[in-house]
Amino acid sequence: MEALIVEAIKGNTQALSDLIIAIEEDLYKIARTRLSCEDDINEAVQQTIVQIFKSIKKLKEPKYFKTWTIKILINKCNKLYRKIQKNTFMEYDESIINLQISDENKIISNMDFFLLIKDLEYEERITCTLYYLERLTTKEISKILKEPESTTRNRKSRAVKKLQKKLMDKNPTKDKLKEDKIKR
């Protein structure tokens, strides 16, 4: 992939197109954490792609291509989100396509993940998405979000605790079920 990035920086539009195709699904997932309307998500992704085509020659380190791209996308999503907030009330769109994540060949759906994190604050949602779906380190996430790494780690930890509590509330353990039977 790094060879493609180097070629794209040199001006090879086919290499850049191949790169965009390779990361387009990831861009969609990340945009989905901030925006709920399918059209808005696609708009943010398209704006990001246009910005990448315009600015690829400014990228100094090819190894940071994905991080650089995610920064652009987050900025586009935030700008679009603020614009939408001024004009309309946003609704959460529950229709999400299935996605394969290669973690021991395990398939989960976007709906499962996004429904799980939908009640988290935006910063927690984006951190979880970048960490668990994009497999970025907390250091990489902190650079993208322009914040201290400790803030990113704390936010991820807080989000995990909230999600664990949410799951425990929905799926009581056997011990909790036994306690309930004893109380009756």
Residue range 19-71, pLDDT digits in tens: 999 999 999 999 998 888 899 999 999 999 999 999 999 998 999 999 999 99
- Tell me if 2 sits within 8 A of 18, measured CB to CB: no
| Coil vs helix vs strand at 98 | strand
CB 102 within 8 A of CB 141: no
Q: Among positive and negative, which fits the CA dihedral 5, 7, 12, 17?
A: negative
pTM of the predicted protein model: 0.60
Rounded CA separation 41/81 (Å): 10
Nearest partner of 81 among 127, 33, 121, 129, judged by Cα: 33
127 in Cβ contact with 152 (< 8 Å) = yes
Q: Where are the domains of the chain?
A: 1-93, 96-172
Q: Which two tokens stand for residue 164?
A: 């664990």
Whole-number pLDDT of residue 171: 57
Among candidate residues 145, 147, 152, the one with its CA nearest the CA of residue 75: 145
**Tokens matching residue 66:** 């994905």
As a whole number of angstroms, the distance between CA 105 and CA 166 comes to 26
- Estimate the crossing angle of helix 13-34 against helix 2-9, to 10 degrees: 110
Q: Which CATH architecture has domain 96-172?
A: Orthogonal Bundle (1.10)
Pick among 1.10.1740.10, 3.30.420.10, 3.30.360.10, 3.30.1360.30: CATH of 1-93 = 1.10.1740.10
144-168, pLDDT tens digit by residue? 999 999 999 999 999 888 888 877 7
Contact, 92 vs 82, CB < 8 A?
no
Confidence band of 111 (pLDDT split at 50, 70, 90)? low
20, two tokens:
């965009």
The residue with tokens 């940071």 is: 64
Q: Nearest to residue 19, comparing CAs of 68, 58, 74, 80?
A: 68
Cα 170–chain centre separation = 25
Residue 79 has pLDDT above 50, yes or no: yes
